[in-house]
Amino acid sequence: MRVSPRLLQRAAKSIDKYALYVPQSGVFPKGFKVGAIASGVKKNGALDLGVIVNTNKSRLSSAAAVFTTNKFKAAPVLASKQVLEAVRGKGINAIVVNSGCANSVTGELGMADANEMVSLVNTQMGGTPNATLVMSTGVIGQRLQMDKITNGINKLFNENRFGAHFEDWLNITKSICTTDTFPKLISSKFKLPNGQEYTLTGMAKGAGMICPNMATLLGFIVTDLPIASTALNKMLHHATNRSFNCISVDGDMSTNDTICMIANGAIETQEVKEDSEAFEQVQEQITQFAQRLAQLVVRDGEGSTKFVTVNVQNSLTFDDAKIIAESISNSMLVKTALYGQDANWGRILCAIGYAKLDNLKSLDESKINVSFIATDDSEPRELKLVVNGVPNLNVDEERASQILALNDLEIKVDLGTGSETAQFWTCDLTREYVTINGDYRS
């Protein structure tokens, strides 16, 4: 394979991101072990198959997932949906995931392969059916090499290649990467209102779009907190709606996108239910955790040089705040202006103006305020571009240049029509993005 100078440059750049965003240690929930292996599906011999196992037997686990809304759903998405529905989110004890082949647009044979992955893990776990979720990412339109996958799964279990140390969690995170320049692994301890501690660990893979892959997004969150399956399902949808569904690299959505979560209840405390005191607090903790994980995907956006928070405030409705944040975040003109470090309020207003709102009253042209916000400690933090619908024609250009030169910055839009807020995270559109997605053939 010919490696272009640009890809080498990109590889060199990725070292910085690795140092910045990959932890050296972590905290991991009780009652989980993980294993990863190089099955041979990835041609370069890298890790490409992983299994997360719940070892806690004291309670039945809860699981939930949010799947792609793309009409073309990959076989593993359909298989995992079936499993989750069959057991109503209860008793899921494993997630098996492979990279290198997305098992998408593979028809009935692909469905059989996805189901076979589930069966192989179920068998290794003791034979209970519907206890395993399956995910795949990589090339689409190709069958899985089931001999390699089968050998890999059996080897993981038969040689007991599972562990619960930092390196084990880092390795399984690496095994789901495709074009990611760094593995996305985070973990934190949280407290319940009663003082009880619990742990969240999350892994994600980002929007890797090198031909003929698509921008598959996978995210896993595991916790040792006991959460009722209906409550978990509600929390994960809430969190995903405010995290993984609020990021924009290029606006495309793949056939394989999946965010899933298992709560195994390995710590001894009262189960969190929808009507329990802890529900709101845990939901908020999971949401913020999911945001951190989702933001790492944007930081690894292909070719990107900037991480931009689009903060739409004081909207009549949350949905409209989000629609406007999304419209700005996906606008090619806004994204190229960010790359060009140009305080282009016109492009931002334009993207706001063509957003397809649910309620036209969310937007009042005479009330809108648009600013850039510096994310470092420099002052003034806020640079006003549009004030009550009127462009600020005396923008301090020098200050604008300073803020736009930052790697991290915020676009604040105050709609002034209500009190709802939504955030999106986006990156700039660069020549490098076009190079990666246009020049490369696998």
Q: CA 218, CA 182: separation in Å to the nearest integer?
A: 14
Q: Is 429 in the site for its own copies (CB under 8 A)?
A: yes
Q: Is 213 in the site for its own copies (CB under 8 A)?
A: yes
Alpha helices in 300-391 (DSSP H): 318-330, 332-339, 345-353
Least Cα distance to 188 among 286, 315, 294, 67 occurs for 286
Asked whether the beta carbons of 149 and 117 are under 8 A apart, the reply is yes
Q: Report 214-273 residues binding its own copies (CB under 8 A).
A: 214-215, 250-255
Q: Is 431 in the site for its own copies (CB under 8 A)?
A: yes
- 229's CB contacts (< 8 A; 6+ apart) are 62, 63, 64, 88, 89, 90
Q: Which one of the listed residues 179, 181, 216, 309 is annotated catalytic? A: 216
Options 64-72, 237-245, 268-276, 374-382: segment touching its own copies (CB under 8 A): 64-72
Options 44-52, 275-283, 293-301, 335-343: segment touching its own copies (CB under 8 A): 335-343
Q: Which is nearer to its own copies, 203 or 207 (CB)?
A: 207
Q: Is 3 in the site for its own copies (CB under 8 A)?
A: no
Least Cα distance to 420 among 367, 362, 358, 365 occurs for 362
- Whole-angstrom distance between the N-terminal and C-terminal Cα of the chain? 9
**CA 212 to chain CA centroid, nearest Å:** 21
String of DSSP letters for 27-96: ---TTEEEEEE--SSSTT----EEEEEE---SS--EEEEEE---SS--HHHHHHHHHHHHTTTB---EEE
Which one of 67, 162, 182, 433 is in contact with its own copies (CB under 8 A)?
433
Asked whether the beta carbons of 217 and 203 are under 8 A apart, the reply is no
Long-range pairs for 389-396: beta carbons < 8 A, 24 or more residues apart: 389/364, 389/365, 391/345, 391/346, 392/345, 395/343
Q: How far is the CB of 211 from its own copies (least distance, A)?
A: 5
Options 25-33, 182-190, 205-213, 374-382: segment touching its own copies (CB under 8 A): 205-213
Q: Report 119-158 residues binding its own copies (CB under 8 A).
A: 140-142
Q: Report 94-123 residues binding its own copies (CB under 8 A).
A: 104-105, 107
For its own copies, what does the binding mask look like between residues 292 and 331, x meaning CB under 8 A? Answer: ---------------------------------------x
Q: How far is the CB of 301 from its own copies (least distance, A)?
A: 12
Alpha helices in 126-271 (DSSP H): 146-158, 166-175, 229-241
Options 167-175, 272-280, 289-297, 384-392: segment touching its own copies (CB under 8 A): 384-392
Q: Which is nearer to its own copies, 11 or 332 (CB)?
A: 332
Which one of 8, 72, 165, 358 is in contact with its own copies (CB under 8 A)?
72
Q: Assign 360 to helix, strand or coil.
A: helix
- Does 216 participate in catalysis according to the annotation? yes
The binding site for substrate comprises 178, 205, 216, 302, 437, 442
Q: Is 430 in the site for its own copies (CB under 8 A)?
A: yes
Q: Is 416 in the site for its own copies (CB under 8 A)?
A: no
Q: Based on the number of CB atoms within 10 Å of its own CB, is 81 exposed (0-12), middle (13-18) or buried (19 or more)?
A: middle
Give residues in contact with its own copies (CB under 8 A): 69-72, 104-105, 107, 140-142, 209, 211-215, 250-255, 331-333, 336-337, 339-340, 342, 344-347, 349-355, 357, 360, 363, 365, 386, 389-391, 393, 428-431, 433-435, 437-441
Active site residues: 216
